[in-house]
Amino acid sequence: MERCCELHPWLGDRDRLNELPDVAVVGPHAPDIRGHDPLSSLPGEYDHEQIQYPDNQGSEFLRKFHSGGHEGFEVAWNEAQQPHMPPNFQQRDNPSLFSTFDQIYDGVNAPVSRWEGPPQNILSGFLHQFVHSNQAGIPFCPATLPVMGLSQRDKHCIRDRSSIMARHFFADKSDDYINAQVNALLHSLEIDNDLQARGPPHRRFPELKQYWNESQGAAKFEAPHAEDRWVAEYDQFRPAEGPESWANSFEQQYGVDSWASQFEQEQSQVSSLGRMTGRNISNIAAMEQTRMLAETLAQNEDPKFQNSKFLQFVSKMSRGELIVDNNQVKPAVPSQSSGWVEEFDQQHNNNINSWADQFAGELPHTENAWIREFANEQQQRGNTEDQWVNEFSKLHLQDWGDEFHDQMSKGAFGDGPTDHWADEYDKFLEESLGPVQKPSGSSSGIYVFASQNPYVGHPNPLKEGQELFRNGLLSEAVLALEAEVLKNPDNAEGWRLLGIANAENDDDQQAIASMIRARDADPTNLEVLLALGVSHTNELEQAAALKYLRGWLQHHSKYGTLIPPGEPDVLVHADVAGYFNEAARMAPEDADVHIVLGVLYNLSREFDKAIASFQKALKLKPHDYSLWNKLGATQANSVQSADAIYAYQQALDLKPNYVRAWANMGISFANQGLYDKSISYYVRALSMNPKAENAWQYLRISLGCASRYDMLNACDTRNLDALQKEFPL
């Protein structure tokens, strides 16, 4: 209701806008924003000429709004609403214009009209309006909403998701425009979008995290030469003054109290419970306490921090794997009983706040067991690294690595509890590196669901997911489809689309995992078999890829007979390629056969043939964006980067939010040594899918090669805001 009246004054009398206090008519920004419009390929399109005015006006509006004068904005807004007429009662001096707006009106009106009712309804309506603002092609207008009572967590969630979503909606728009859109949304919900709020979502131990980042980050910035990097990074591990330096410097820098006082606060909540009910509760309380601590610490994504023994210990406590009982840590560390765990336990049973005091009091002293452990290990590392550095001067050392390993296994880290710690440390290191390594390892085939999914409980997540996918909102579509397959685990279509969305979102591991489920549900689905073949090809897993591509032909109604019956023991690439060439002779006009052939030739690294096959397929299917990307990737892998960039550009023109193509662009530039350029493309891909692990790793390499050591920290902490600001596209 409000919405239509907001629009019509602009339409009916464009000149009036000149009179508005804070609004200028179509500024120089207009061409930038409109530019080319790949959204025209989406369903529900209409002639953009017709709605150009309001769009331009609106963005100007928002720009002004963004650049400061909020009051001015409101005044303008209210004035624009003044001629309060019913929607169908306008002077229709331009009927076609109005029909367009009726369309828009129909699209956006429903949610707008319900700013009453329970907060959830208002919120969901409002967020829907945000989503629809994309389809309508008009900027999103802020509104005054009733107080929602959103929690901090909700706000973070909305802020993060809306900024990712906006990058999908407006993939073709400038960053300013996108930011204005997001700001308009967030402002209405009274969510801050400044960097401060975007920072670490946890506030409990910021100083600890900061200290860690500083201590870990410093050397990286100071080592501009590749040769120095190793040594520099090694030096970080070496204690500067001695084993206590870690604890001391921590204390010096931040004081004992700031950390401890944080603890006290948390403690007071939990310990009152523990005091009342004795030991069992005390364990539970300890778990709860450590869980909070672990959660906070785990937010720091620096692998070195993640691997620290302290965090490991805390996590184990919080998972209940270590139990504090009778002043012993059970089951795993009997000899560790006199450690800080005992302190922890005692304090827990005895009184309220003193654990934190105790902790603080002991921080500077080396008697404290875990600090000693930590220091011990630092020293050990220090020693071995000294060796390492010493060896550099000799330059011709044989098998030094073996030596290092012998040392490790002979218990250079000490005996008893320390030994145990060393093992645990190694194990933990392995665990925490596991998932990072996996992408290059064999595909685990286990789908990892998002921990928080707003679509769980949605009445029809499949439909929602299809809709989101069609609109190019890949990250959102993934969530909706995850909700679908959680609800209907045997829905082949849900799994298949989830796989495709994941692949387009540049996550082959998840794509493979979902496609395997799709195949289990429907073993003969050709699209699923092809997708599996492609994903395994990307992961360089020859045998698996070959199996699925052969399966594609086998289950094809037309070409199935080309394959001799029975499963061969060993698949030979040449045989499979032979069957497909036969199929291509049978049906030269079948684009799909050429596509599979192209993938097959990628597998055997016969790139010229692969390129020829994809080009044939493109003649038959010129609007297939994924096909353009396949051509580009093949060209890139055979070092024809200029051609590849052209092909990716075609793909992105057809689908502006195709994360994989953005990431591939980055790879192409990086492989040509154009690291500066590659950075912006990686950042763009990541802004649409922060879960694209490969892109993070490649971004880090490019930052190093482009000597942008100042931004490495932003990369390591995954601070997308800072990266986007620094590297706009």
Rule CB under 8 A: which of 531-560 touch another protein?
534, 537-543
Q: What is the footprint of another protein within residues 337-376 (CB under 8 A)?
A: none
Binding range to another protein, per CB under 8 A, among 84-92, 123-131, 478-486, 699-707: 699-707
From candidates 149, 401, 457, 566, binder to another protein by CB under 8 A: 401
User: Residue 253 is encoded by which pair of tokens?
Assistant: 């820098």
Q: Going along 513-664, which residue ranges are E strands?
A: none
- Which tokens is 204 given? 């409990």
Which of 76, 178, 663, 686 lies at the binding interface for another protein (CB under 8 A)? 663
205 vs 425, which CB is nearer to another protein? 425
- Compute the least distance from the CB of residue 390 to another protein, in Å: 10
Segment contacting another protein by CB under 8 A, of 206-214, 554-562, 691-699, 718-726:
691-699
Whole-angstrom distance, CA of residue 586 vs CA of residue 558: 9
| Residue 336 vs 694, nearer CB to another protein | 694
Q: Is residue 642 part of the contact set for another protein (CB under 8 A)? A: no
3-state secondary structure of 329: strand
* Least CB distance to another protein at residue 697 (A): 4
Could you give the 3-state DSSP secondary structure of residue 237?
Answer: helix
Q: Is 437 in the site for another protein (CB under 8 A)?
A: yes
- Asked if 637 interacts with another protein (CB under 8 A), we say yes
Residue partners of 23: CB distance under 8 A and separation at least 6: 17, 57, 60, 61, 64, 76
Alpha-carbon distance of 213 to 206, in angstroms, equals 10
Residue 305 has phi, psi (to 5 degrees) of -70, -40
Are 455 and 464 spatial neighbours (Cβ–Cβ below 8 Å)? yes
Would you count residue 432 as binding another protein (CB under 8 A)? no
The rounded distance, in Å, linking the Cα atoms of 312 and 203 is: 20
238 binds another protein (CB under 8 A): no
Which residue, 366 or 672, has its beta carbon nearer to another protein? 672
Scan residues 515-534 and list those touching another protein (CB under 8 A). 534
SS3 83: coil
- State the Cα–Cα distance between residues 141 and 54, nearest whole angstrom: 12
- The size of the interface with another protein (CB under 8 A), counted in residues, is 75
Alpha helices in 26-81 (DSSP H): 29-34, 52-66, 70-81
What's the half-sphere exposure (Cβ side, CA atoms, 13 Å) at 469?
23
Q: What residues from 493 to 512 belong to the interface with another protein (CB under 8 A)?
A: 506, 508
Is residue 58 close enough to count as binding another protein by CB under 8 A?
Answer: no
By CB under 8 A, name the one of 153, 319, 405, 718 that touches another protein.
405
Residue 145 CA to its chain's centroid (Å):
30
Report the residue number, 287 or 530, with the smaller CB distance to another protein.
Answer: 530
What's the closest the beta carbon of residue 722 comes to another protein, in angstroms?
Answer: 20
**599 contacts another protein (rule: CB under 8 A):** yes
User: Taking Cα atoms as reference points, which of 610, 686, 693, 717 lies closest to residue 441?
Assistant: 693
Q: What residues from 667 to 686 belong to the interface with another protein (CB under 8 A)? A: 667-668, 670-673
Question: Does 392 interact with another protein (rule: CB under 8 A)?
Answer: yes
Q: Which is nearer to another protein, 620 or 705 (CB)?
A: 705
Does residue 221 touch another protein according to CB under 8 A?
A: no
Candidates 121-129, 447-455, 491-499, 661-669: pick the segment binding another protein (CB under 8 A).
661-669
226 binds another protein (CB under 8 A): yes
Distance between CA atoms of residues 171 and 242, nearest Å? 52
Closest CA to 238 of 259, 219, 213, 264: 219
- ∠ CA 656-661-663, nearest 5°, is 115
Closest approach of Cβ 506 to another protein, in Å?
Answer: 7
Considering the rule CB under 8 A, would residue 402 count as an interface residue with another protein?
yes
233 lines the binding site for another protein (CB under 8 A): yes
- Given CA atoms 528, 628, 138, 89 in this order, what sign does their dihedral have? negative
Beta strands in 141-247 (DSSP E): none
Q: Which residues pair with 323 in a beta bridge?
A: 330
* Coil, helix or strand at residue 218: helix
- Shortest reach from residue 572's CB to another protein, in Å: 10
Nearest-approach distance from CB 577 to another protein, in angstroms: 12
With respect to another protein, which residue has the nearer C-beta, 15 or 227?
Answer: 227
Nearest CB to another protein, comparing residues 364 and 414: 414
CB of 636 to another protein, least distance (A): 4
Q: How far is the CB of 655 from another protein (least distance, A)?
A: 15
> Closer to another protein at the Cβ: 250 or 607?
607
Strands 328-330 and 323-325, how do they pair?
antiparallel
Rounded distance between C-alpha atoms, residue 663 and residue 695, angstroms = 6
Name the residue nearer to another protein (CB basis): 276 or 570: 570
Q: Which of the 8 DSSP states describes residue 540?
A: T
Does residue 397 interact with another protein by CB under 8 A? yes
Subset of 603-622 contacting another protein (CB under 8 A): 604-605
Nearer to another protein, 304 or 725 (CB): 304
Phi, psi of 330 (to 5 degrees): -120, 160
Nearest CB to another protein, comparing residues 184 and 596: 596
Stretch that binds another protein, among 49-57, 465-473, 615-623, 666-674 (CB under 8 A): 666-674
What is the C-alpha to C-alpha distance for residues 206 and 200, in angstroms, rounded to an integer?
A: 8
Select from 194, 399, 415, 567 the one that contacts another protein (CB under 8 A): 399
First CA to last CA distance, the chain: 38
Residue in 440, 441, 506, 511 with CA at minimum distance from that of residue 687: 506
Instruction: Tell me the one-letter amino acid at 76.
Output: A
For the CB of residue 469, give the shortest distance to another protein in the complex, in Å.
19
Which 276-315 residues touch another protein, going by CB under 8 A?
A: 303
Tell me whether residue 401 or residue 565 sits nearer to another protein (CB atom).
401
Q: How far is the CB of 637 from another protein (least distance, A)?
A: 6
Q: Say how far apart CA 575 and CA 308 lie, in whole Å.
A: 51
